């Protein structure tokens, strides 16, 4: 599962990618064509709480994979670059649009002024357009066939509904579909079906006093159910260079409780439909990643294939109950420690101990 960072050139994608993943790829390269991949820890206050309680030797956070996709100039530019761009985008499981809301002399802007909303609208329009082209190509292929089977007729009806939605600038997530149609849908690789989030790269002034089009941008995203994370990539990169003990003070000065990339990593994790369960002990406190809807036996397999094979029961309690009551013993007294079977659907924040036979 991978989230693709997309956006126009020079909006700070690589800067953000480096911050998230701890990489150090060169930034500010015009005409960059390299795709970078890496993973970022997902900061989680629940893991910190468990670590303080169990004092383990090792603490392991969940991680989320990112792909830094070079931006293309949407006003024409090189056609091959655009094709490559959309190929990479198609391969991502979710998308994070990065838009520019920082001023910097020497970094060329796409428009004459800072217009993050317009930037996002252009990108969004490209995503919808790519899907329109896909639908039209498919329709053409079916219609040029000699005999139209019943199945093809059903597909045409579905594609026409898709086209209508896209032409109204609505993403394909809004097209209702039956389970059979869902299977068809999965095969197309539509872009507007991918979960989307928006990262606004701001400067210090923007962080403190807002930036051009902020209100309109936030409204536009909210109306479409798109989560927004404002992050000051450049300043955060500078802060990340400081010794850990100095970082809090600098963040504090900016009015931040934690770095924007922490929020971005969490938002990406959620956008991918991922949740965490925890295992705890003196040796390690660890966040494990599963998709929403994963059952206990499968989750056990994440920890070890032997545990999945020999699965007997999962001892489960909810992190929130532990935080409220303060200790596992009190949870037991309160009857909040549950024994669950192999088909139990794991919830975000479950603390699990698997019982298994070897
Ligand atoms: P990309 O083309 O979208 O990957 O953008 P880069 O990450 O390569 O950044 C483009 C240029 O903008 C680089 O020179 C960065 O140092 C600069 N930059 C990125 N983010 C910020 C920011 O928040 N503030 C300022 N002042 N400059 C930034």
State how far the Cα of 63 lies from the Cα of 38, in Å rounded to an integer. 10
Tokens of 293: 């809807």
According to DSSP, residue 39 is labeled: E
Grade residue 76 by pLDDT with cuts at 50, 70 and 90.
low
CATH architecture of the domain 2-43+61-112+194-271 equals: 3-Layer(aba) Sandwich (3.40)
**pTM over cut 0.95:** no
pLDDT in tens, 185-225: 888 889 999 999 999 999 989 988 899 999 999 999 999 99
Closest to 322 (Cα-Cα) out of 50, 42, 56, 48: 50
Ligand 1 centroid, distance to 255 Cα (angstroms): 22
Among the atoms of ligand 1, which is closest to the Cα of residue 18? 7
Our mutation pick for probing the ligand 1 site, out of 4, 5, 8, 15, counting the most ligand atoms within 8 A of Cβ, is: 15
Closest to 96 (Cα-Cα) out of 273, 210, 264: 264
What CATH number belongs to 293-356? 3.10.20.30
The answer to whether the beta carbons of residues 173 and 194 sit under 8 Å apart is no
The answer to whether the beta carbons of residues 10 and 45 sit under 8 Å apart is no
State how far the Cα of 315 lies from the Cα of 312, in Å rounded to an integer. 10
The answer to whether the beta carbons of residues 38 and 65 sit under 8 Å apart is yes
Asked if pLDDT for residue 237 goes beyond 80, the answer is: yes
Task: Please give the average per-residue pLDDT across 82-111, as a whole number.
Answer: 89
State how far the Cα of 15 lies from the Cα of 204, in Å rounded to an integer. 16
pLDDT reported for residue 78? 67
Q: Three-class SS of residue 94?
A: strand
- Report the pocket of ligand 1 as residue ranges, CB < 6 Å: 7, 9-15, 27-28, 32, 71, 102, 104, 107, 201, 203, 232-234
Ligand 1 centroid, distance to 193 Cα (angstroms): 29
- Of 142-146, 244-248, 256-260, the poorest mean pLDDT is in 142-146
Tokens of 22: 């701890």
Grade residue 86 by pLDDT with cuts at 50, 70 and 90.
confident
Q: How many helices (H) and strands (E) does the chain have?
A: 15, 12
Q: Whose CA is nearest to atom 18 of ligand 1?
A: 12
Ligand 1 centroid, distance to 324 Cα (angstroms): 43
State how far the Cα of 199 lies from the Cα of 3, in Å rounded to an integer. 12
Helices (H), the chain: 13-21, 45-54, 79-90, 116-144, 150-167, 179-188, 204-209, 214-223, 233-240, 244-253, 260-271, 296-303, 305-309, 319-325, 328-333
Ligand 1 centroid, distance to 310 Cα (angstroms): 51
Q: Whose CA is nearest to atom 20 of ligand 1?
A: 12
pLDDT reported for residue 194? 93
Grade residue 151 by pLDDT with cuts at 50, 70 and 90.
confident
The answer to whether the beta carbons of residues 101 and 68 sit under 8 Å apart is no
State how far the Cα of 40 lies from the Cα of 20, in Å rounded to an integer. 5
Tokens of 9: 């050139």
Q: Map tokens 């966040």 to a residue.
A: 287
Ligand 1 centroid, distance to 110 Cα (angstroms): 13
pLDDT reported for residue 96? 96
Task: Kindly report the backbone phi and psi dihedral angles of residue 191, in degrees, each rounded to the nearest multiple of 5, phi listed first.
Answer: -80, -35
Our mutation pick for probing the ligand 1 site, out of 10, 67, 77, counting the most ligand atoms within 8 A of Cβ, is: 10
pLDDT in tens, 325-353: 999 899 999 999 999 999 999 999 999 99
Q: Which CATH number fits domain 126-188: 1.10.287, 2.60.40, 3.40.50, 1.10.150?
A: 1.10.150
Tokens of 288: 């494990």
Boundaries of every domain in the chain: 2-43+61-112+194-271, 126-188, 293-356
What is the 3-class SS of 286-297, one letter each residue? EEEEEECCCEHH
Closest to 53 (Cα-Cα) out of 323, 338, 355, 331: 323
Q: Map tokens 């996002």 to a residue.
A: 120
């Amino acid at each position: 599962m991978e989230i693709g960072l997309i956006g126009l050139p020079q909006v700070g994608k690589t800067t953000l990618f480096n911050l998230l993943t701890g990489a150090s790829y060169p930034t500010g390269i015009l005409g960059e064509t390299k795709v970078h991949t890496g993973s970022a820890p997902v900061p989680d206050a629940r893991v910190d709480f468990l670590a303080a309680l169990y004092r383990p030797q090792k603490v392991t956070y969940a991680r989320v994979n990112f792909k830094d996709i070079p931006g293309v100039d949407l006003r024409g530019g090189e056609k091959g670059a655009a094709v490559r761009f959309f190929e990479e985008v198609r391969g991502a499981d979710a998308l994070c649009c990065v838009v520019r809301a920082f001023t910097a002399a020497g970094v060329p802007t796409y428009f004459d002024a800072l217009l993050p909303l317009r930037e996002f609208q252009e990108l969004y329009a490209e995503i919808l357009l790519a899907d329109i082209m896909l639908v039209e190509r498919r329709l053409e292929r079916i219609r040029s066939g000699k005999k139209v089977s019943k199945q093809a007729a059903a597909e045409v009806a579905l594609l026409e509904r898709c086209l209508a939605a896209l032409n109204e600038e609505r993403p394909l997530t809004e097209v209702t579909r039956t389970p059979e149609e869902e299977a068809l849908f999965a095969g197309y690789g539509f872009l507007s079906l991918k979960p989307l989030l928006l990262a606004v790269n701001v400067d210090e002034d923007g962080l403190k006093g807002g930036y051009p089009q902020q209100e309109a941008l936030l409204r536009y995203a909210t109306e479409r159910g798109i989560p927004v994370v404002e992050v000051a990539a450049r300043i955060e990169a500078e802060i990340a260079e400081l010794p850990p003990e100095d970082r809090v003070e600098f963040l504090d000065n900016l009015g931040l409780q934690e770095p924007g990339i922490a929020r971005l990593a969490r938002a990406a994790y959620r956008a991918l439909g991922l949740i965490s369960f925890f295992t705890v002990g003196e040796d390690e406190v660890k966040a494990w990643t599963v998709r929403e809807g994963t059952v206990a036996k499968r989750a056990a397999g994440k920890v070890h294939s032997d545990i999945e094979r020999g699965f007997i029961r999962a001892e489960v309690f909810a992190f929130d109950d532990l935080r409220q009551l303060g200790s596992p013993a009190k949870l037991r007294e309160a009857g909040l420690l549950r024994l669950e079977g192999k088909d139990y659907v794991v919830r975000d924040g479950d603390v699990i101990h698997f019982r298994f036979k070897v």
